[in-house]
Amino acid sequence: MPKIAHYREKCIGCNSCVEQAPDRWKISEADGKSILIGSKKKGEVFVTEIRMDELEANERAARDCPVRIIKILK
Protein backbone atom coordinates (compact mmCIF):
# COMPACT_ATOMS: atom_id res chain seq x y z
CA MET A 1 0.00 0.00 0.00
CA PRO A 2 1.25 3.51 -0.75
CA LYS A 3 2.29 5.78 2.10
CA ILE A 4 2.10 9.52 2.63
CA ALA A 5 4.69 11.47 4.59
CA HIS A 6 3.76 14.95 5.80
CA TYR A 7 6.40 17.41 7.06
CA ARG A 8 3.78 19.34 8.97
CA GLU A 9 5.89 21.99 10.64
CA LYS A 10 6.51 23.82 7.34
CA CYS A 11 2.80 23.92 6.39
CA ILE A 12 1.54 27.42 5.54
CA GLY A 13 -2.13 26.45 5.78
CA CYS A 14 -3.11 27.17 2.17
CA ASN A 15 -5.80 24.46 2.20
CA SER A 16 -4.85 22.98 -1.20
CA CYS A 17 -4.48 19.40 0.11
CA VAL A 18 -7.93 19.59 1.72
CA GLU A 19 -9.42 20.75 -1.57
CA GLN A 20 -7.80 17.88 -3.47
CA ALA A 21 -8.26 15.01 -1.00
CA PRO A 22 -10.79 15.99 1.67
CA ASP A 23 -11.09 12.44 3.01
CA ARG A 24 -7.42 12.41 3.98
CA TRP A 25 -6.73 16.03 4.91
CA LYS A 26 -8.25 18.62 7.18
CA ILE A 27 -7.11 21.93 8.62
CA SER A 28 -6.49 22.27 12.33
CA GLU A 29 -8.55 25.07 13.81
CA ALA A 30 -5.92 25.33 16.55
CA ASP A 31 -2.85 26.24 14.51
CA GLY A 32 -4.17 26.65 10.96
CA LYS A 33 -1.94 23.91 9.51
CA SER A 34 -3.16 20.80 7.69
CA ILE A 35 -3.59 17.44 9.39
CA LEU A 36 -3.00 14.12 7.64
CA ILE A 37 -5.99 12.12 8.85
CA GLY A 38 -5.09 8.75 10.39
CA SER A 39 -1.36 9.48 10.53
CA LYS A 40 1.16 8.76 13.25
CA LYS A 41 4.08 11.02 14.14
CA LYS A 42 7.51 9.58 13.47
CA GLY A 43 10.13 12.09 14.49
CA GLU A 44 9.22 15.32 12.72
CA VAL A 45 7.12 13.59 10.06
CA PHE A 46 3.52 12.38 10.06
CA VAL A 47 3.04 9.12 8.16
CA THR A 48 0.12 6.94 7.12
CA GLU A 49 -0.70 4.22 4.62
CA ILE A 50 -3.44 4.92 2.10
CA ARG A 51 -5.62 2.73 -0.12
CA MET A 52 -4.91 2.54 -3.83
CA ASP A 53 -8.18 4.29 -4.62
CA GLU A 54 -6.98 7.30 -2.62
CA LEU A 55 -3.72 7.59 -4.49
CA GLU A 56 -4.78 9.85 -7.35
CA ALA A 57 -6.36 12.51 -5.17
CA ASN A 58 -3.38 12.52 -2.82
CA GLU A 59 -0.94 12.76 -5.70
CA ARG A 60 -2.78 15.93 -6.70
CA ALA A 61 -2.53 17.15 -3.11
CA ALA A 62 1.25 16.55 -3.19
CA ARG A 63 1.55 18.24 -6.59
CA ASP A 64 -0.34 21.34 -5.44
CA CYS A 65 1.40 21.77 -2.08
CA PRO A 66 3.24 25.12 -2.45
CA VAL A 67 5.84 24.25 0.17
CA ARG A 68 6.38 20.65 -1.06
CA ILE A 69 5.90 18.96 2.29
CA ILE A 70 3.68 16.09 1.11
CA LYS A 71 5.56 13.05 -0.17
CA ILE A 72 3.89 9.96 -1.65
CA LEU A 73 5.89 6.77 -1.14
CA LYS A 74 4.68 3.97 -3.43
Partner 1 sequence: MNKSIEIMAPAGSYESLMAAINAGANSVYFGIEQLNMRARAANNFTTEDLKKIVKICKEHNVKTYLTLNTIMYDHDITLMKKICDTAKEEGVTAAICSDVAAMSYAKEIGLEVHISTQANVSNFETVKFYAQFADVIVLARELTFKQVKRITENIEKEQVKGPSGNLVEIELFIHGALCVAVSGKCYMSLATYNSSANRGACLQNCRRSYKVIDEETGDELVIDNKYIMSPKDLCTIGFIDKILDSGVKVLKIEGRGRAPDYVHTTVGCYREAVDSYKEGTYTEEKINVWTKRLETVFNRGFWHGGYYLGKQLGEWSGIYGSKTTKEKKYLGLAKNYFMKPKIAEFQLEAFEVKVGDEILITGPTTGVIQMNIESLFKDEKKVDSAVKGDEITFPVSEKVRPNDKLFLIVDVKNDKPN
Asked if 44 touches partner 1 (CB under 8 A), the answer is no
When asked if residue 71 is in the footprint of partner 1 (CB under 8 A), the reply is: no
Choosing from 32, 38, 49, 56, the residue that interacts with partner 1 (CB under 8 A) is 32
In angstroms, give the least distance from the CB of 2 to partner 1. Answer: 22
Residue 42 Cα to chain centre, angstroms: 14
Which residues sit at the interface with partner 1, rule CB under 8 A? 10-16, 27-33, 64-67
